[in-house]
Structure 1
Amino acid sequence: MLLLLMMSLASFAGPRSFQQAKEIALRQAAQLGISMDEASSAKAKSKRVKSVSGEVPAYYVFPNGEGKGFTVVSGDDRLPEVVGYSDKGTYDEENLPSNYVGFMKAYEEMVGQLDNGDSRASASIAEAKALRSSGYQQPIVAPLLGSIQWNQIIPYNKMCPMYNSTNRSVTGCVATAMAQVMMYYQYPKILQADIPAYVTRTKYLSIPQINKGERYDWNNMLPQYASYEPLNYTDAQAAAVAKLLYHCGVACEMDYGPSSGANVTPAILSTYFGYDSDLMQDLNRDVFTLAEWSQIMDKELTAKRPILYSGQSSDGGHEFVCDGSDGNGLYHINWGWGGYQDGYFDVTILNPDKGGAGSGSAPDGYNQYCSMIVGIAPDNGKVDEPLVDVTPVVMIGNGNSSLGFQMKTRNKVTDTFRVITNNLLSNQSAKDFTGYFAYGIQQADGTYKPLSKSCSISIKHPKADGRPYNLNIKLFQFDYAFPVGKTTLYALYSTDQKEWKRCGYLYMTPFVVEATEKTIDLAKTPLSADIVAQDELLSEQDNTLMLTVNNDADFEHLGMINVYTSTINEKPSDPSEQIYFTILSKSSSTREVTFSPSTASDLYVWVTNANGEDLMEVKKFTVMQSTAPKLVLVGKTSNATAGDYELEKAYYQSSQVKALKVNGDKAVFTYQIRNDGGTCELEFPFLIAAYDENRNTQYKFPKVNRRVKNGETATLTIEARPEDYGGNQSFFCALRMGDVPLDTSGFSDNKLYLSDGNSWYNLEYAAQFVYVAGTPSSISSITTSGTSVHGGNGEILISSDKAQTMCIYNLSGQMVNKANVKAGESIAVPVPAGLYIVNGKKVIVK
């Protein structure tokens, strides 16, 4: 009994069951408008990984059916539900792209590390949760490569060398990835420089020089080439693409063979193919926070520049193209496998911390040395400012860098202390760094002043595989008469010993010392915390505590905060919750901590930083025994106009129906729920289904979390817009409480009549149905002075009696496409379903 009382009150995480994973996959498929075949779901695969608790599921793969794609669901409920998905193709475990296999292998590694209690894996997950809960909205970018889906075999490898006399080398994923990006731009017209001859490393194949001036036949390159009879290409079309792929491979010194390998750099793209040398940057993941990394990717995609993304694992490097985003944190990946497995994946969660600079024992996994090349575009003929500022000199923590004192006492305040430091430095920029290193302080005007003498340093830029070079400066010493109080010591670098800049920090923050008239030591953490309850705490309910962490330092805090809970006043050895905080200097940040105690009891809470330093005194709360709620539906309304019906355009399932009309751009459904029982913290789940005349249905499953006290009536509101549902305008909304009883006896009739008025559907009592007609300017077609714009299925049709350029914008004001229309010409512009602005008017695309 004592052991049970000492257990943390955290809601323990665990593996997802097959049934839980299946429900997630069904929901994901429904959101894509796909009905998962029952026979296919029965073929779902579970990939398991060993951990200290035995074998646990790393992930599940649920095929949707022949040609309908698949969903990969996380096997651990601490990780985001959906790892990746696709709405096309057929999942075949025996024929998977090597870079996809590498990606999933790393995912297995992370689940194993997480289950083994690895702190860095936990930090990665906490950082991802922090980003998802921060309110940051990822833009939606349709796949930039469109229908470009190239592969590594015939006809792409027709110019690649033979090995073992009889076998044709594959192109390699690096060559295929970079060639697909070039096909996107259809650039360059000619090879810009001689590509030198070389001998491959493994098979010792002699690769001859390729002379500059070779022309590329873009007009003869197809977006897709059939890999089986009947072939869809001519010999000239095959030769055109094979030449490009071969040149890409040789430029990277491809190690040709059965699984050709190489690395691509900005220098290769600029030297041989004329891409913009000062715009491109090769960025390493371990220098950036997850939020920074995601925002860099999102800015690139919004600027319509595909990204070359790479990672390392034990079987070598893997390269693929990231060319879109779904608005929910996942990125569209073109694996370079003929379209196979292309889909949306969570590439950012594979944090590379475990294999970053200064890590002496990096375990295997795809998350080692993740990097990406951004700014890929034809040279614009001007000098560009860097897209991303990268600090060339970075100090690395994890016990690699330290600061101490020869003696911690002095006789008077003017006496100096001798500071002794050990410093592991790394160069994360794209260029070699030669300059100077010192320790100093930040002055009132924001500049930095060295306190120590400087030393010369020289650090090469990262290796081709992304791994940085390190420089170890041991026993770097200086003397300084520290004033009474706290002093922040910054590692500084300079190229001329005149202007000093602050080094970057990896896995650590600047050192802070605190001096008195006669003593000195490292200062205690500048962080402090408080945690408060917003409402009374109840057993068997989700309870929320508000955790506020204050940062009194002169620098930003990025890192983990640990929360410990127990039913007795004795701090457990393991935290109940680890939360990633970003806190600006002299600022604070507040986050929610949710827990579900099983019984009424005392609750003790401790908060520490990542080093285990207490940020507050232990705090005691009282958890009261909860009683069951009694929920009653007392009202349901929408923003439809009473008595105004749509009889021709409204559809439910396969029928034309008589629907209340919303004369606006969105449906607003409101529910009033009264609680006649005990206070409850509940998740109210809704189903939204949007229909069109072709029986295409789009689903979403929004949820509203609400605490409802005894006698209180909660008002729940759900909004639905056609552009979020593929342009569909007929909306069904239902509140479905699952295992929690909901009394709907006050609503005895809920009929949805067919448009003929003679037949009807009996809807569930907590359901509503409306048709969103749009405002007068929300129309599917525009005709003005010789120009016609019409929204179709996945495209906007434009015709004009004069030559003009027409810009197409989404509702966020971002230009998504541009159409150059010739006089008397009609063109179709492909766009995803939704609402768009053309010539100042809204156009619906289904």
Structure 2
Amino acid sequence: MKKRQVLLFAFLSLFVVFSCVKDNVVDISRKLPQEPQPPATSGNTITMDSLRSLALNLPAIFSQQPQTRSTGKTIKEIVSLSSFFNQPATRTATVSGKNPVSDIYVVNYSGDAGFAIISADTRLVDVLAYSDYGNINDTLDNPGVKLFMSGVYDYADYMLNYLPEKGDSVAVHGMVLPKNSATTASRGYTGQKTLSAITEYPYVNENPYYPPEDDDVYYYYQETVEDQDWTGILKGPFTEVNWGQWMPFNNYMPGCFMMGHAPAGCVPTAMAQIMSYHEWPLTIYSDSLQWNVLKYYKTDNAFNNAPQDARHRVATLFKELGTLVNITYDCNGSSASFTDANAAFNTNTLGYNTDGIISYSRSEARKDLRNNRPVFVGGHKENDETGHVWVVDGYKDQQCIWTEFAYWYRYEGGDTPPELFFIDTLRAYKYTYDYVHCNWGWDGDNDGWFYDPIFQTNNPEERDPGVSYGNRGQYSIEVKMIKNLRKK
């Protein structure tokens, strides 16, 4: 009688780490003060202690502020993202009815020093957003962040509910893998690995190893998914200003009873911030812009101490941009179309060229950012054309190879320890965790790094050239961009 048994062991890892070196390809392998330990888990979720530990590590990874990176932050509160969706009847899951964001949390840092959005569900990418500026609470008025949070709901619904219904894929740490792929991961083994010569991804071993027939020996294997070769690219952020829609930017807008002036509008605000990076044009309708002066005042509060001439110049800029995009001023929110913004950029008055408007594309956005060109982006919910426009001015990408191994052990019985005698490569995947830096045009509030796949809502999704992952389910937001916005 043959004595053969096959055991499957699996361990879990979650932490995602980035480098903070600008404009270079860098090694971003675990550059934290202390190596984080794999988080404790229960089923598909990490514990709150593990989530809290990850949140405390994020400033060292994401923050643009050197002092924050070195000293860190403390946590004010951890709130379920579910609490921000107070109309569950309108946000039903695709299949199971399970709330897809029940294990996603908003971590607010003390002193209004920003927030993080973190998933405790190991089937999703762990870090969904990070900002150094402002908390998220039930009085959130930033329309860009609201739009992103709706996208997070849709993304989680797709990964956790739509994929199981479709039946041929599973979600593993934000990756879409074949259903027969291992759904847990380990990076704890330190022995030498026997790697296949892999040159193309995804890779599948068509002839996996199986041990020989032997009546006197037990064989078993340990199957794991391990991450290797973490590398990263950081580009930007480019814009140096954090302007908004109120004083002094709206000083020359129509008046509102008891409210000063109508807001300047998100379209002129995003346009002005992109133009400030290029420092172009030099004049607008014979008015000298003097970009070196305007960029000195990076926020609305900074303009409080600016000379009248600087406040006049920036208000004039916003007023002229509003005219160019045919803006409609309203005390409750000024509006202009994306099409008119694209047309205005292409006028001789502003002196830019574009390649038109397209659905938001991660690859096209990166092409522009690699050429040092901030991207003009806008989005809205379905059946609601009153959305928001903002600037994407940087990206932070982390790429790794995920490889499935089978560790084969031989055990001869008694006190003899098991012997690892063969390591087989079963499958390998190349995957990128990518973030973009968003300047929301909200006086700097909530600016930060946001998980880029949330914004790409077109179907089918294509994460690697030529590799389609099919229909992405029911996204409730639409996002578009102006492609290749550049000076003439």
Query: Could you state the TM-score of these two structures normalised by the residue count of structure 1?
Result: 0.35
How much is the aligned-residue C-alpha RMSD, in angstroms? 4.0
Q: Which structure's relative contact order is higher, taking Cα pairs within 8 Å and 6+ residues apart?
A: 2
1:28 aligned to 2:58?
Answer: yes
The aligned amino acid for 1:261 is: S
Aligned pairs for 1:190-589 within 5 A? 190-191=283-284, 212-224=285-297, 227=300, 231-257=304-330, 258-265=332-339, 266-271=342-347, 273-277=349-353, 279-285=354-360, 293-314=361-382, 315=384, 316-328=386-398, 329-353=434-458, 365-366=476-477, 368=478, 370-379=479-488
What runs of 5+ residues in structure 1 fail to find an aligned partner?
1-8, 192-211, 286-292, 357-361, 380-846
Deviation at residue 54 of structure 1 after TM alignment: 4.3
1:160 aligned to 2:253?
Answer: yes
CA gap of 1:103–1:92, structure 2 versus 1, over 3 A, is: closer
Q: Residues of 2 paired with 1:120 and 1:224: CA distance?
A: 52
The aligned amino acid for 1:321 is: V
CA gap of 1:176–1:58, structure 2 versus 1, over 3 A, is: farther
SS of 2:487's partner is: coil
Higher share in strand: 1
Aligned pairs for 1:97-108 within 5 A? 97-108=142-153
Give the number of equivalent residue pairs.
Answer: 335
Residues 243 and 299 in structure 2, CA contact (< 8 A), matched pair in contact too: no
Aligned pairs for 1:630-709 within 5 A? none
Residues 58 and 74 in structure 1, CA contact (< 8 A), matched pair in contact too: yes
Q: Residues of 2 paired with 1:91 and 1:283: CA distance?
A: 32
Q: Residues of 2 paired with 1:373 and 1:341: CA distance?
A: 23
CA gap of 1:295–1:350, structure 2 versus 1, over 3 A, is: closer
Deviation at residue 75 of structure 1 after TM alignment: 4.6
The aligned amino acid for 2:482 is: I
Deviation at residue 219 of structure 1 after TM alignment: 4.5
CA gap of 1:303–1:166, structure 2 versus 1, over 3 A, is: closer
1:91 aligned to 2:165?
Answer: no
The aligned amino acid for 1:43 is: E
Deviation at residue 117 of structure 1 after TM alignment: 2.8
The aligned amino acid for 2:252 is: M
- For residues 133-175 of structure 1, what are the alpha-carbon distances to aligned partners after superposition, in whole Å with 9 as ceiling and x for unaligned? 89896531131113x1101111111112235686521112221
Alignment partner, residue 46 of structure 1: 80
- For residues 64-98 of structure 1, what are the alpha-carbon distances to aligned partners after superposition, in whole Å with 9 as ceiling and x for unaligned? 33264332212532221101113x33425235421
Q: Residues of 2 paired with 1:181 and 1:122: CA distance?
A: 43
CA gap of 1:217–1:122, structure 2 versus 1, over 3 A, is: farther
Aligned pairs for 1:641-790 within 5 A? none
Percentage of matched positions with identical amino acids? 22
Q: Residues of 2 paired with 1:61 and 1:167: CA distance?
A: 34
CA gap of 1:145–1:124, structure 2 versus 1, over 3 A, is: farther
Deviation at residue 108 of structure 1 after TM alignment: 2.0
- For residues 85-119 of structure 1, what are the alpha-carbon distances to aligned partners after superposition, in whole Å with 9 as ceiling and x for unaligned? 13x33425235421112111221233245444366
The aligned amino acid for 2:245 is: Q
CA gap of 1:284–1:165, structure 2 versus 1, over 3 A, is: same
1:64 aligned to 2:109?
Answer: yes
Q: Residues of 1 paired with 2:436 and 2:169: CA distance?
A: 21
Q: Residues of 2 paired with 1:355 and 1:63: CA distance?
A: 34
| Aligned mate of 1:142, from 236, 243, 256 | 236
CA gap of 1:222–1:120, structure 2 versus 1, over 3 A, is: farther
Alignment partner, residue 172 of structure 1: 265
Alignment partner, residue 129 of structure 1: 175
SS of 1:327's partner is: strand
Residues 56 and 73 in structure 2, CA contact (< 8 A), matched pair in contact too: no
Q: Residues of 2 paired with 1:275 and 1:121: CA distance?
A: 51
Alignment partner, residue 19 of structure 1: 49
Q: Residues of 2 paired with 1:247 and 1:135: CA distance?
A: 50
- For residues 534-587 of structure 1, what are the alpha-carbon distances to aligned partners after superposition, in whole Å with 9 as ceiling and x for unaligned? xxxxxxxxxxxxxxxxxxxxxxxxxxxxxxxxxxxxxxxxxxxxxxxxxxxxxx
Deviation at residue 282 of structure 1 after TM alignment: 2.3
Q: Residues of 2 paired with 1:217 and 1:270: CA distance?
A: 21
CA gap of 1:274–1:152, structure 2 versus 1, over 3 A, is: closer
SS of 1:117's partner is: helix
Q: Residues of 2 paired with 1:99 and 1:124: CA distance?
A: 30
Q: Residues of 1 paired with 2:144 and 2:484: CA distance?
A: 23
Alignment partner, residue 728 of structure 1: none
SS of 1:330's partner is: strand
Q: Residues of 1 paired with 2:167 and 2:267: CA distance?
A: 28
Residues 130 and 449 in structure 2, CA contact (< 8 A), matched pair in contact too: yes
Alignment partner, residue 121 of structure 2: 76
Residues 306 and 322 in structure 1, CA contact (< 8 A), matched pair in contact too: yes
Deviation at residue 179 of structure 1 after TM alignment: 0.7
Q: Residues of 2 paired with 1:281 and 1:71: CA distance?
A: 33
Q: Residues of 2 paired with 1:171 and 1:122: CA distance?
A: 49
Q: Residues of 2 paired with 1:142 and 1:59: CA distance?
A: 28
Residues 237 and 393 in structure 2, CA contact (< 8 A), matched pair in contact too: yes
Deviation at residue 241 of structure 1 after TM alignment: 1.0
Q: Residues of 1 paired with 2:448 and 2:289: CA distance?
A: 29
Q: Residues of 2 paired with 1:134 and 1:171: CA distance?
A: 48
Residues 251 and 272 in structure 1, CA contact (< 8 A), matched pair in contact too: no
Q: Residues of 1 paired with 2:168 and 2:318: CA distance?
A: 41
CA gap of 1:255–1:223, structure 2 versus 1, over 3 A, is: farther
SS of 2:394's partner is: strand
Q: Residues of 2 paired with 1:159 and 1:124: CA distance?
A: 54
CA gap of 1:264–1:350, structure 2 versus 1, over 3 A, is: closer
SS of 1:43's partner is: strand
Alignment partner, residue 408 of structure 2: none
Q: Residues of 2 paired with 1:63 and 1:99: CA distance?
A: 18
Deviation at residue 178 of structure 1 after TM alignment: 1.0
Structure index of larger Rg: 1
Q: Residues of 2 paired with 1:373 and 1:350: CA distance?
A: 14
Alignment partner, residue 181 of structure 2: none
CA gap of 1:227–1:299, structure 2 versus 1, over 3 A, is: closer
Deviation at residue 233 of structure 1 after TM alignment: 1.3
Q: Residues of 2 paired with 1:186 and 1:42: CA distance?
A: 39
Alignment partner, residue 756 of structure 1: none
- For residues 310-341 of structure 1, what are the alpha-carbon distances to aligned partners after superposition, in whole Å with 9 as ceiling and x for unaligned? 22215522211111122332111111112211
Deviation at residue 30 of structure 1 after TM alignment: 4.1
Q: Residues of 2 paired with 1:13 and 1:85: CA distance?
A: 26
